Structure 1
């Protein structure tokens, strides 16, 4: 696992989640505040040395992040981040 690359992926993902006109209808989150609270808690676990399974679930096909990205117009950016995430946060 490359910690610097992983943290960059997570920071860029957070920026996308926080975009002002995101459509959360299919994501499973009610709004940006809820999504960011969950995401930030998972990032805090990673920062503390954990490997939260829920983080991996967010990046899966048809997971909350992909659904958010597709309905909000940043699907291409999501795919690139998901590829980098998979390379830096391999399954245990």
Structure 2
């Protein structure tokens, strides 16, 4: 769980320190909505609540909402590295 929380922390750092273009995703109308949702996921994970894990898997999926935002906001390469870390943390959780 710690690895997953770290990935979410790192994503939140990116999306809160640079301007985000959410126009290419229907998921969020504004960057603030995206930050609120990601923060909620992170807080749940920190508390040991993995009930939103399927939703997180969708957010980090190829051509998913986070990749759409990353590409339109200029951090597409970083997203790929974060998504790889997410996949590793997800696999650890599923294997335990």
Alpha-carbon shift at residue 19 of structure 1 (Å): 3.5
Pairwise CA RMSD of aligned residues?
A: 1.6
**Structure richer in helix, relative to its length:** 2
Partner of 2:6: 8
Partner of 1:57: 58
**Alignment TM-score, normalising by the size of structure 2:** 0.83
In the alignment, the residues of structure 2 paired with residue 46 and residue 22 of structure 1 have an alpha-carbon distance, to the nearest angstrom, of 24
Q: Does 1:46 align with 2:36?
A: no
Question: Is contact 2:2-2:46 (8 Å) kept?
Answer: no
Question: How many residues in Structure 1 have an aligned counterpart in Structure 2?
Answer: 90
**Alignment TM-score, normalising by the size of structure 1:** 0.86
Q: Would you identify which runs of 4 or more consecutive aligned residues in structure 1 move more than 3 Å? A: none
Alignment of 1:9-88 (within 5 A): 9-27=7-25, 28-51=27-50, 52=52, 53-88=54-89
Answer with 57-66 or 19-28: which moved more. 19-28
Runs of 5+ unmatched residues, structure 1: none
Runs of 5+ unmatched residues, structure 2: none
Q: Please list the CA deviations of residues 45-66 of structure 1 after superposition, one character each: whole Å capped at 9, or x if unmatched.
A: 1111122121111100111100
